[in-house]
Structures are given as structure tokens and as C-alpha cells.
Amino acid sequence: MRYLTIGGDSARQRRVSQIALGAMLMGTVTDEATSFAILDRYVEAGGTFVDTANNYAFWVNGTQGGESEQLLGRWLRSRGVGDELTIATKVGGRPPRPARQLSEDLEGLSPQVIKESLARSLENLGRDHVDVYYAHVPDPAVPLEVQVETFGAHVAEGTVGLVGLSNYWSWQIERFRTLAAAAGLPGCEVLQHHHTYFRARTDQGGLRSRDGAIGVTDGQLLSYLRAEPSMSLVAYSPLLSGGYVRADKPLDESYDHAGTRARKLALDDVVRETGATANQVVLAWLMGGEVSIIPLVGASSVAQLDETLASVDLELTADQRNRLDAAGQN
């Protein structure tokens, strides 16, 4: 396993494995025995960064979520795992009543909601703090100043380690950090957005808004991260739910453009040269670039996880990386 540090110069920084394990479907789609086996194998391989959210996975059984956090809590207690593992969870995307699909009617990010949701997450996880706490989706009804103050207060009381933002626009990230710096409060130190080798059109797919798809890593966000090397990007859905390797998993319409076709040709070439799977090449490409990226991967079996973990040992040559980077640019 390889490791990097998140949190920049913060005294609360954490050293984490460069592959994070997503627990989204654990406790619902993935049964408890299988989930425990995946978590055990991840830790055995040196994994230290597990990600969940307070709304996972409400849509499976028509609940408000919490099943994933609760399963993680049972696993943590049964294995006696403590602070050596970095646990991340999120607030803001929980439906206010049982639901089966995402809507605009979410819990939001008011100070009271964050306080109550954090307490519930800590109870589910069986912990007195969460290492990384993300705002899951932007809440335009709550000013960024209030969000900064609220997350900062929980850092000060010790219930939150690092503050993260997920699915925020680049300007919101910069304003959040600027407001925090001016107030002497913790700023956003970790991001979580969708990122992969193929590039999605931001006017389609993803979490939709009047301005296009939010949560999709674009050139503006990548440029921002290059200018702020102390920040890390946790990249969710990096393998497109099997879209790189499974014919029965067609790509979303947002990937239906000439750039994707060019990138697929380059990816196929590198797959042939390395003998690795397309998934492994994509993960190696994400981890080896100039921007600090942590792929966030799910797994439905130990075998699937093992394929992912093998990407850590795949070293792309400079020529292979350059060809992958350049594909679809013209």
C-alpha cells in the first residue's frame, strides 16, 4: 500500500492509504458477512481510509439511511479498531423522511441539523469523533459563513478532525476557505468529487442543477488543486460502476463524445502494454499524477477488492502517462 497525508499543514492532518474504501452499500446491498470480509481484507492489505455518509443507502430499502454507518460501527467494535483507521462520513444529503430516490428535499446544512446529524453518526459508528466530516452537497439556504462557523465549532470541540466539502462548485470551495482564514477557523481541507479517466460533459449527468452537473471534476477544479497542493481530492466513482470493463454496464450519456473515444483507444493501448486490467490502469493514472488524488472504490466481494488493491503496484511509464493525458485534448 502507498500512503499520503491529508490536511495540509493542519495539526489534525492524517496519513491515509492512497486507496479509500467506500462503504456505501454495506449493510444493505452487501450483506454483513461479506462486508466484514471486505473490510478485513482492506485493513490486512494496509488500507486505512474508509468512507461513508449519514444517508447511505436510504434508496435501497426506502429509509433515511444510516445502515452503512451502523454496519461500520459493528465492525469497528468487533475488531477493536481505533484511531489507526481514518473514518469519513457526510452530512447534508439525508432525506427528512423515508425515501427511495434523491430529491431536492434534503436535511440541509443548518447548524442544528449538523449538530444532530453528527451526534447520530457518532452513535452509529460508536466513536467520539469523526476524522473527516464532509458537507455532502451545497445548501444555498445556509450562508457559507454559517457553514464555516458551524463546522469550525465542531472541530474546536473535538468531534470533527478535518473538514471536507463534497460536490461543491470551485468558487464555493475558495469562498469557504477564504471566509475560514479570515475568521481564524478551519477551512476545507479535503474534497470529494466524481473523477475518473474519461471526462464527463458537465451539462449532462451527475447531480443536476440549473448550471449543469455538480460534483464532476472539471478543468477549473483541477487547476485549483494544482494551485493548492496542500489539498487532496477523494475521487468517487472512479471506475464508472464497471463501465471500463463490463459490456453490460454502458457509460452514462455524459461520456458520449469524441474525447471519450480517443481516451478509450489510449487506455486500450496501455492495458495491452501493461497486462493490467482497464480498472487498474485508471486507478494507477489517478494516483500517479501531479494532483493529490485518492480513488474511492467500492467492492461487492473480496476478489473485486483484490483487483483494485493490485493497482497500487502498477507503475505507469512517463510515456504511458503522457499518452493517457494527451488523448482527447485536440
CATH number at residue 71: 3.20.20.100
pLDDT at res. 28: 97
Residue 205 pLDDT? 58
CA distances from 54 to 45, 59, 297 (A): 26, 12, 18
**What's this model's pTM, rounded to 2 decimal places?**
0.95
Classify residue 163: in a domain, yes or no.
yes
Residues β-bridged to residue 293: 233
What is the spatial distance between Cα 74 and Cα 123, in angstroms, rounded to a whole number?
11
CA atoms within 13 A on the CB side of 29: 12
What's residue 212's pLDDT? 78
Query: What per-residue confidence (pLDDT) applies to 78?
Result: 96
Residue 95 domain-assigned? yes
Give a yes or no: residue 262 inside a domain: no
Residue 321 lies in a domain: no
In degrees, to the nearest 5, what angle opens at C-alpha 136 toward C-alphas 179 and 236?
A: 115
Q: Does residue 320 sit within a domain?
A: no
pLDDT, residue 103, reads: 77
Flag whether 105 is in a domain. Answer: yes
Residue 326 in any domain: the answer is: no
Kindly state the cell numbers that stand for 188.
Answer: 476545507
pLDDT at 206: 57
Residue 204 and residue 230 in contact, taking contact as beta carbons nearer than 8 Å: no
For residue 208, the model assigns a pLDDT of: 62
Contact 94, 61 (CB under 8 A): no
d(CA 269, CA 273) in angstroms, rounded, equals 6
Number of domains in the chain: 1
Q: Which domain holds residue 21?
A: 3-250+277-315
Under-50 pLDDT residues of the chain: none
Helix/strand/coil (H, E, C) string of 120-174? HHHHHHCCCCEEEEEECCCCCCCCHHHHHHHHHHHHHHCCEEEEEEECCCHHHHH
Query: Is residue 258 assigned to a domain?
Result: no
